[in-house]
Structure formats: C-alpha cells, structure tokens
Chains A and B, each alone.
Chain A
Amino acid sequence: MTRPPTGPPTRPPARPMSRPSARTTGRFVVLLVGAAVMVLPFAMMIATSLKQQSFVLTPSLVPDHPTLDNYVRAWTSSGFGRYFLNSAAVALATVALVLLFGSMMAYAFARFEFVGKKAMFYAMIATLMIPAMMLLIPQYFVARDLGVLDSRTGLVLFYVAGQLAFTTFLLRGFFAGIPRELDDAMLIDGANRWHIYWHLMLPLARPALATAAIFTFLGSWDEFVWAVTIIDSKDNRTLPMAIQLFQGQHGTSWGLVFAASTIAVVPVIAVFVVFQRYFVSGLQAGALKG
C-alpha cells in the first residue's frame, strides 16, 4: 500500500486499437468464438421463426424462402396479442408498485431509527436467500384465501411481494449515500417527511430507481412458475406460459413457437441493451455489497 507506483505502466497506453499485439488479437478471437456460441441458439430461433412449415425441420441457419407468416399467425390467430398485453400490464403494474412501496421502505430504513428496524431489515435480507419456488405451495393457498387465483391481480400482488426485498435493499443503500444536510435544509424550510421523500429522495435516486425498475420488469415479464400455477383461463395467460402451452399444442409448429418466442424476447433485449449501464451497476451493487 505504501509503495508508490514506480516502474513502467503495465497497461497499454490510451489507444489500444492502434497496434494490436498478437496476444490482444488472440484474446479477441477467443471472445468472438465464445460470443458465437452464445448467439447461435438465438440465431437458430430467429431463423426457424422465418421458415415455412415445410422447412422448419431442416437445421439450416439461413431460411431458404423466408416468410413472416409465422409472426402474422402467432399474433392474429393464437391470441398472442392478448397474452402480450397481459404480460405488459402485469409487468408495468408490478414495476410501479415495487418502486413505490420499495422506495418508501428504503427511505424508512435509511433515515429513521425505530423499534424493530434491525429485525425487519434482516428478515427481508434473509428471504433473499430462499428460492422463491419453495414458497409456491403455501402461496397458492394464500392466493386462494384472498380470492385471487386465476387473475392478473394474483400475479401482480405476489410479484410485488417477491421483488420488494431486493428493491428495498438496493434503494436503501442509495438513499443512505445522500447527505443528510439536504434533508435538514428542507426540514428547516418546514417540509415534512413525505415531502422530503417525494421531492428530494426520489428525484435524486433516479438512477437507482431505473436499475430497480429494469430488474423488476424483467423478473415479472419472464415469470413462469407462479403464472402456470395459478392461471387457468386462456384470457389471463402471460407470454411465457402461453408459449409453453403453445408448444404442447403445436408440437411440430416450431416456426410458430419461435415466432412467438421472438416476440416475447425482443422487449427484454431492447430494455437490456438500452439500460445496460444501470443493469450492470445494480447487479454489481447487489453482489458486491450483499
């Protein structure tokens, strides 16, 4: 620690692109091959979704006579528009409620001393270690007793409850980093706590809220097990369960199944690519400080 960094810098200087060494090129090639392996299944999925039914079982990456037929059929004839909207509505409602309730809890944990604070906080952290699936059976009966089986409300309520702990944890860390002097300035001006939360904390926490929003969105958009457990009627299906049931009904219509899958995956990839920075920072905050 005390030794000053003498000697030549070990990293290449500012513009690594200008003269790639053999080692850099080698590294690049390895990464490229790995990326190809990562992408291949997606490429197969998209290629198959563009194939006509008679070509679906030929394992080629480039469809011979590409067609958008499968997309049209998936969207129009199979109720996919409905399932897409269900997924979107459930995910958006979940995000809104998780952000609101989670940030309120995070504010309480970050700024107040109160009886039971530690117990409550550690109870939440501890549940982060429990696989969600283990609660499936009792949650099913709680949902029955609340009368929310086979409803989108039943999805939203349990998604919100399941995502609250992580969001609260993430936002509490962020709120704790905001200087208390700002609170004090507002208090002196006569603001109350709700006012501070709403007009100071939330605007400042926008990056953290974005991170939490993305995690929550992806989590509820893709959720499968709870949906398949409580949803019975066709009208309430979400995309993942619709796709899975779809595959069961149309065992060989892989073109149709993968057109539907692509429709489901595109929003996820779009959200991820656009908000990649927030996503990575949130993931690492959860990992490195947890």
Chain B
Amino acid sequence: MHVVTLDSDTDFDGWRKAARALAMNDVRPADVTWRVKGAAPDLFDDEAETQLPEVPKGAFSVPASFMELAESAILHSDPTRFTLLYRLLWRLRTNHDLMEIATDPDVAQANALARAVRRDVHKMHAFVRFREVGREREARYVAWFEPEHHIVERAAPFFASRFADMPWSILTPELSAHWDGSRVSFTSGVSKAEAPTEDRLEEVWLRYYASIFNPARLKVKAMEKEMPKKYWQNLPEAKLIQPLIAAASRRTSAMIAEPGTEPHKPQKRVEETAMTRTPKAHAHAAAQTSHDVEPTDLQTLREEAAGCRACPLWKDATQTVFGEGPAHAPLMLVGEQPGDKEDLAGHPFVGPAGQMLDRALEEAGIDRSKVYVTNAVKHFKFVARGKIRLHQKPATPEIKACRPWYERELAAVRPALVVAMGATAAQSVFGKITQVTKNRGQIVDLPDGPQAMITVHPSYLLRLPDAEAKAREYELFVKDLKVAAAALKRAHAA
C-alpha cells in the first residue's frame, strides 16, 4: 500500500507529480491512499507515508481535456476525489479516448465534481457582497463568504481584475484572499465574527431589490434554483424574500381590483405627433441624400409611399424604399426591388448590386449623382432562412400593385430615357412581361413620353458562378449603359 500526503486540499501539482510516478510504476489505484496534510486522521493513519518510487524514463501523455477536468475536480470537497482522478489517469493509459465517453461512471463522476466546482466559483463571483470599511479614499472593501468547495484561490483572480483600483479582502472559514492594488495574497481562514456586518449602502440596495421585484409574477422555485438557500445567510437582500412573497398576492389582487383609469382618447395627440414628425422626416431625407433639392411633389410622393399597404409586402419589410435622385434627372434607372441592405438603410442601390451599378455607370461615362434611381417594387420581398433573408422575385400582383408609384415618379421626374434593369423592371416599365435577353440594348419609344431601354439587373452579374462569365456579362452590361449614354446625348442635342 502506498500512502501519499498532499500539501493542501488544492495541491494539484503534488497530486500530479505523485500520480505520474505511481502510474509509471504500475501501482494500481486500489493500492494508493491519498490524504491531505493536517487533515483529520483516518483508518490508514498508522500507515507510514511511502517514498514515491523513482520515475522511469519515458512519458505517457494524457488528453488536455483530462488535465482541465482534473484541475477543477480536485477543488471539490469530496475526499475520494484524488482516488477517482488517479483511477481515471490509470485507465487513460490504455484507453486514450476515455474522456470522450460521457457514459463511463468515472468520467461522469469527475465531470459532476468539476461542474459543482465551477458552479461554486460562479456563485462566489456572484454572491460575494463587499462591505465598505472606512470612508471614501481610505475605504477598504471586505466580504464574508462560505464556499462549499476549496475554490478561494480559483475565484480570486476574477475579483482582482474587476476591482483592481480598490483594496479588498474576501474572508472565508478556510482561506482568505486579499488585494492590495497590485497582487493577491492569501491568509488562513477566519470566523464570521471577524467580518464587517454593515455597509452604508445596504439600505439603498435593499430598496432597489424590493422595487425591482414584480409581485404579479411570483416564481419562488425559479429563484431558489439559481440562488439556493444555503447562500441566503450571507446575502443582505435575502431577508426581504419572505416579506415580499407574503405581500405579493395582496398587492396583485389590489391592482386587479382597483378600478382602471379611463382609457385615454388619443386622437388629438396623434395629430400633434404627425405634425411634429413631418419636418423631421424632411430634414432626415435631406441630410441623407447629396442630390439636388427635390420639389415638393416628389417629396409628397415619397411620404405617401412610406405608408403604402397596396400589397402584403410591407408587413415584413422594414420600410418603403422610394426612388432617389435629382428631381428632373434626364435618366431614370429602374431596378427590381430593394434588397437586404436597401431595406435596412431605406435607400435604393446601396448594397452589393448598387456598388456594381456604380462601377458600371462610371465606366459608361454616366454620373450617378445625375441619375434618378428607383425600383419597380418598393418593399423588400424575402423568405427568412434562419438568420438570413433570402431575396424573392416579386410576383405579378405585387409588381402591378406597386406600378402606380413608378408611374407617378415617372410623371414627376419626366426623364428623357428610362432604363429597365431585369425582367421585373421591364414588366413595370412596359406594362407587360417583356423578355430581357431578346430586347436588351435597344432604344424604343414609349407611348407619350420618354424613350426606354432594357438591360440586365446588376445582381444578375453577382450571381454568375464563374469569373469568366462574370467578366463577359459585365462588359455587355457596360455596353448597354453606353448605348443609353449615347441616346441621352442625342436626346439632349435634339
């Protein structure tokens, strides 16, 4: 029989050294007794401590997960923990995957110990209550806490990094931790009588605790699960728990029984707010766009469209994304619908497709700031896939429902040329389904008004899988835009 005496309850290094020597000398777990220096004598006390055997050359490795687990589990107050951990180590020599087997009783027990330790550390971080000793600049902060396991050293660094600028001490029955502003030191445990019993702020804290409690939602079990009663004796607010519970149902029934106040008539207020809101909306829109000042009619359209409910798309979208650009731009670009980014920002063509469009416009020699940009459908249509909103093609009823906005925009802007980008835009501009590939790049006259042209939508270019096709289609897109630029020049000359 080997008897190993560790320096303290938390002597992980001592345990590790001994365990390594024993395991490498094939000493079976059943043949080792572990004890802690100064602990109460037990059955094997008369057995002399054994000299640790020499460690043979060579090494065996253990998974990192075991070391991590052992370092936590050893802090548990269970006296059999050293034996359990040695048994695990012993078994790991022949079964390297042992730690992965959550159903193994030894693994499960060690996990349970480590979990209890982690929980105790967490509760110490949470439930330590400092009391101020002395005032202001001379103040020290002293707490009393009774941990269940040997966790003071494990828990102390948290307080050091959180309360680095104040001297504090945490007193416990087993060990006390102190911070002097630069390092943590430990002294032996003390009795509760040595801890301060009051703090000038405690009354304020109790008042807060009582006020933040909602008597209409009593859930005592839920509270006890997270704040077990064993901690209550050192929590100042715990003395309020019983009176608060006792008064809860009376307070709630009183609220329910009390005659309610007359519901407020909101009409007048709504008008007021509507009035106070409008100028702000103006200011906001003006600040957002660097374009020319728009005449009121376009602005009026924009405000009316903001509340549009002509199809159900408004429900899930953030906002109506209306067209933007100079009031009498010679060129009007019509896209399909706002995308994710446009929906959030409230401006058309600000996402990836917008950036692609900007680049192509520049290459075609068109100044975007002189172009009116809008979409055939003005709300984002999508399906939610987890945390992503997948763009959906608008359906004909939605395009039709939104068309009046496009028509009114067209009437207000009166451009010389309208470029429809993609099939949805073409449907809106021409009032019927019109093929993109067959008709792209041709300038046609629209009845009573501007000329029009069809090209692809820039997001079509983004979706192309291979780089070669992308480059080729991009060139074609720029080519179409150059045709539009040339048509504009002709229109301007005429």
On whether the two chains bind one another, the answer is no
